[in-house]
Amino acid sequence: MSKTVLITGATSGIGYATAELLAAQNFKLILCGRRQERLDDLVNKLSNGSNLITLNFDIRDREAVLKAINSIPAEFSKIDVLLNNAGNAHGLDPIDKGSIDDWDAMLDINVKGLLYITKAILPQMVERKGGHIINIGSTAGKEVYPNGNVYCASKYAVDAINQGLRIDLNAYGIRVGAVNPGLVETEFSDVRFKGDLERAKNVYKGFQPLRPEDVADIIHFVITRPYHVNIADLVVMSTAQASSTIVNKND
């Protein structure tokens, strides 16, 4: 029987590429995001009628998270894999000049939102003594870089939560692991720079960054290991990237 995977942030980037790959591999999917037109596109593009549903909610809103999870129809309600992917950076400023609204957004989405959805899904995994949680962290959660301050803090928090979940859920046989990518060309920098597409494009100029499909491939690998194998913490960077600040650019 095919596994059911819930993906947060499926409307773009890494989440979207993972949805595409897993749909092609006949997984059952619960695809989440806020942009309804993107969710509709996913249904049109990936659905064979019975393999996916979509949920529209803001992960910052804990009532909305619970309502959405409670609305999942019986055929999809046994969630085998939770892919905690929704998240973004907002701004890239020195800490003394940072916007408090940006800080709130990053901590509310990347940290608290991840906790809300995990809390909503955990009871069924605990009851079944099974399931798999994959957290999308970042190299930003392994190494702080200039002006990354609060985004890095949010991803260090994801690293801590990943470890905490693995420790506390160990007795239930629930697999928990993180995938931590370096620079991936998605809408990430469009969001970080608030729609300044030129500045966003520059982040990935002069080298071959990771593509969202590369990360999707790794997530597929993580999900398809035999039960006794848990990929606990994986870092992946483009070959051109050596650290958060060292990227071999050809211009």
Active-site positions read 151
Q: With CB cut-offs between 5 and 8 Å by kind, which of ligand 8X3, ligand NDP, none does residue 14 bind?
A: ligand NDP
CA distances from 91 to 108, 151, 245 (A): 15, 9, 17
> Binding residues for ligand 8X3, how many (CB under 6 A)?
7
Say whether residue 183 binds ligand 8X3 (CB under 6 A): yes
Hey, which residues between 222 and 251 contact ligand 8X3 (CB under 6 A)?
Answer: 244
Q: At closest approach, how far in Å is the CB of 77 from ligand 8X3?
A: 32
Compare residues 56 and 147 and give the one whose CB is closer to ligand 8X3.
Answer: 147
Residue with the two structure tokens 């993972």: 18
Contact status, residue 236 vs residue 181, Cβ threshold 8 Å: yes
Whole-angstrom distance between the N-terminal and C-terminal Cα of the chain? 50
For ligand NDP, which stretch binds (CB under 6 A), given 2-10, 74-82, 125-133, 238-246?
Answer: 2-10
Cβ-Cβ contacts under 8 Å for 57 (sequence gap 6 or more): 32, 34, 64, 65, 67, 68
What does 163-210 look like in DSSP terms, one character per residue? HHHHHHTGGGT-EEEEEEES-B-SSHHHHHTTT-HHHHHHHTTTS-PB
Q: At closest approach, how far in Å is the CB of 64 from ligand NDP?
A: 9
Q: Catalogue the E-assigned strands of 198-249.
A: 233-236
For residues 183 to 202, the per-residue mask of contacts with ligand NDP, x marking binding by CB under 6 A and - elsewhere, is: xx-xxx--x-----------
Residues that bind ligand NDP (CB under 6 A): 8-15, 33-35, 38, 58-60, 85-88, 109, 136, 138, 181, 183-184, 186-188, 191, 212
